[in-house]
A and B are shown apart, each in its own frame.
Chain A
C-alpha cells in the first residue's frame, strides 16, 4: 500500500519556512566583484575546465561549447583564470585607476 501523503493546501493563515531553488537568493552577486574574468575567444580551446571549476555556475557554454560569462552573478573569484591551461582568461579590475 503506497503511503505517500496527499499534498493539501493549508486552510488557515499560512506562512512556513518553504523555499524553492532560484537565481539570486541574495540578489545580483555580480555586484560583489572587484575584478571580472575576460575570455579571449581566439586563445580558448574549449577544454571546458573553466566551466567545470567555476563555483557559481556562471561560466556558460554556447552551442559550439565556446564559453562565456554570466556577469550578473559572477563573483570574480578568479578560479577560471587560474585553471585555464592556455591563459585565455584575464582578470580585469572592475574600476580603473582614478575611478
Chain B
C-alpha cells in the first residue's frame, strides 16, 4: 500500500555521523528498513560494509539494535535469535542485513539452511555486486564484464541468480528491490513482515566507489538498472510471482531505456562499453531473463 511521504513521522531513520562513503546505497537501504519496520526489529549483520558503517564503540552508526557476527553465519544466528524470541512469546522482526558475499558465497550454506527450515526471519541481501568492504574484489554476484580488483579485464562468469535460487527453495516470499525505488522496497518489507516463514529480499545497491561513478548518481543508477530491464523488480508471494509496477515500464516501448544508458555511467564497465558485440549479448541476456520471469508470472498466476 503506498503511503504519502509526508505521512512518515518526522523522526530520525538513519544515524548520521556514520562511516559510510558519501552516496552509500547501504546507508540508504537501512533508512528504508527503519521506515518499513520501525523500532520492532533487530538486525543481524555479518562482515561487510555495514559492519564498518557502524563506526566505533561505544556508539553505532546504524539506527537499530544489532548483533554483529562472523561472515558465514548471519542466517543461522538469526534463526537461533528468532527461536529464542518465539520461546519468550515475543513478536520481534529478526532481520539479516547481509552483503552479496555474506549471502551468495561464504554465507550461502547458512542461507540455504535457514530457508529450507523456513525459519521466520527476513533476509535482506544488500547487493553491491562485489566484496566492497575489503576493496572491491569479485563475488559470485558480480555481473559479467565488470572490472574488480580480482577481474581486471572484466569478470568472465555471469551473475549468480540468487532470487531464482531462493524461489526454488519454496519459501513464502522472495522479492527484488532497488535503492532507486524506495517506496517499492518499503512496500515489500511491509508485506514480508506480515508473513510467517523465511522471507528473502534482494536489494540492488549501486556502489559509487566500486562501480566507479559520481556519488550523486546512486539513486539514478538504481533506477536505470530497473528501467533498462537489467534488474527486474518482482514479488513472489505465497507461490505467485508478480512483476512490480516500476518494472512493468520496461515492456512499454516508449519507456524502455537502452542498456548503454546504464553501462556508460559506470567506470567498472569501461571496457564493456567499448564492445558493441558484448552489449548485444547483454541485451539478449536481459530479454532471456525477462522471458523466464514472464513464464513464471503466467504459470504461477494460472493465466491463460
Contacts and interface: CB of A to CB of B under 8 A. Distances in A.
Interface string B50-76: 000011111111111100000000000
Contacts of A32: 22
Contacts, number: 131
Interface residue tally on A, bucketed by range: 35 or more
A58 to B, nearest CB: 5
Interface of B: 5-6, 10, 12-20, 22-25, 27-28, 31, 54-65, 87-90, 182, 208, 214-220
Given A61-B10, A79-B215, A20 B60 contact: yes
B255 to A, nearest CB: 17
7 contacts: A2-B88, A3-B87, A26-B19, A27-B17, A29-B18, A54-B28, A78-B22
Interface string A68-92: 0010110111110111000000010
Contacts of B220: 82-83
A3 B57 contact: no
Given A25-B18, A29-B18, A48 B215 contact: no
Contacts of A98: none
Which 6 interchain pairs have the tightest Cβ spacing?
A25-B55, A57-B14, A78-B216, A24-B17, A73-B16, A77-B23
Given A26-B56, A78-B214, A51 B27 contact: no
A82 B12 CA distance: 22
Contacts of B63: 21, 57
B60 A24 contact: no
B219 A83 contact: yes
Nearest to A47: B5
Nearest to A48: B5
A95 interface: no
Contacts of A21: 15, 59-65
Contacts of B90: 4
Q: Name the residue in A17, A23, A55, A91 with the highest tally of chain B Cβ atoms < 10 Å from its Cβ.
A: A55
B16 A82 contact: no
B216 A79 contact: yes
Contacts of A61: 10
Nearest to B216: A78
Contacts of A51: 5
